[in-house]
Copies of this chain bind each other. A is one copy, B any other.
């Protein structure tokens, strides 16, 4: 799911996202709540009508940004008070409020308010936090009243297997149509992330979507898919693009590197997106060096197409029964050259 933080996947139109095969677009409740505000978006007919994206859409609860963006915030049983990143004004997110805001935004999937503590926050902190998150999840579900919108629960618990298990048990007991694994991919070593996911994902109900929050690099995507994850989001493909980096089957390439200045070949010879078919590395390198809007736009489009195509291929390999072998070979090539 490409991330449309403020109601737009930076630089791309809904039409381009559709053509790329994007299945779900993510919006950030934190940003949209502060600007332009849920009242305006509700009045416009919801995020779909407001942005022109008519496919499935997911909004997070805003909790992640409260914890990652605010210099200070005050957590209580009631919710979390924070200062706006835009103007310093004070706001309080409660489970009831973020549920209501997400109903106004009108995405197809909404998320419960959770706390996402740093991986190294300590066992005691994680234990208290996951229990509060579970109580918040209950309140979110209680407050949720929009039958055309699915509300997903979130499993926390840091890197502690027993706390993960407790969080999972509490969350599944409340009962949701889909479950996310949160609090990972937040700075811990990749091996610990995968280990924790590997003991968590299999215990999630197999008949409900499993959503891993915050992964978007190609190798990471293949790794979490192998552990049973169905959905994931990350700003990485689009953010890298704005910094001049393209994802290719042969690894990441940064178009600011001198070697691409005179390279008249396509961005990724194996990719069939309109960027790879229509422009050379030399031209894209020129656009990126000159900080041209079109450079950001074209690299973003390619990175989104590339990631969607990777997922399409992964799905086909799962169906064909050869996923593990294919993913190993794909990853080896990507990492060797990248």
Interface flags, A21-60, vs B, CB<8A=1, else 0 = 0000000000000011000100110000011100000000
Instruction: State which of B14, B44, B261, B297 has its C-beta within 8 Å of the C-beta of A293.
Output: B297
B280 and A50 within 8 A (CB): yes
Interface flags, A4-21, vs B, CB<8A=1, else 0 = 001110111110000000
Contacts of A256 on B, CB cut-off 8 Å? none
Copies in the complex: 2
A36 and B286 within 8 A (CB): yes
Contacts of A146 on B, CB cut-off 8 Å? none
Give the size range of A's interface with the partner.
20 to 34
Contacts of A280 on B, CB cut-off 8 Å? 44, 50
Contacts of A279 on B, CB cut-off 8 Å? 52
Tell me, in angstroms, the Cα distance from A40 to B285 when the chains sit together: 12
Query: At the interface, yes or no: A283 with Cβ under 8 Å from chain B?
Result: yes
Tell me, in angstroms, the Cα distance from A278 to B18 when the chains sit together: 14
Contacts of A289 on B, CB cut-off 8 Å? 35-36
Query: At the interface, yes or no: A290 with Cβ under 8 Å from chain B?
Result: yes
Interfacial residues of chain A within 252-286, with CB under 8 A of chain B in the complex: 261-262, 264, 278-280, 282-283, 286
Contacts of A51 on B, CB cut-off 8 Å? 283
Query: At the interface, yes or no: A142 with Cβ under 8 Å from chain B?
Result: no
Tell me, in angstroms, the Cα distance from A13 to B297 when the chains sit together: 10
A8 and B264 within 8 A (CB): no
Tell me, in angstroms, the Cα distance from A148 to B287 when the chains sit together: 28
| Given contacts A51-B283, A286-B35, A264 and B43 within 8 Å (CB-CB) | yes
B292 and A293 within 8 A (CB): no
B290 and A293 within 8 A (CB): no
Give the interface of A toward B (CB within 8 A). Answer: 6-8, 10-14, 35-36, 40, 43-44, 50-52, 261-262, 264, 278-280, 282-283, 286-287, 289-290, 292-294, 296-298
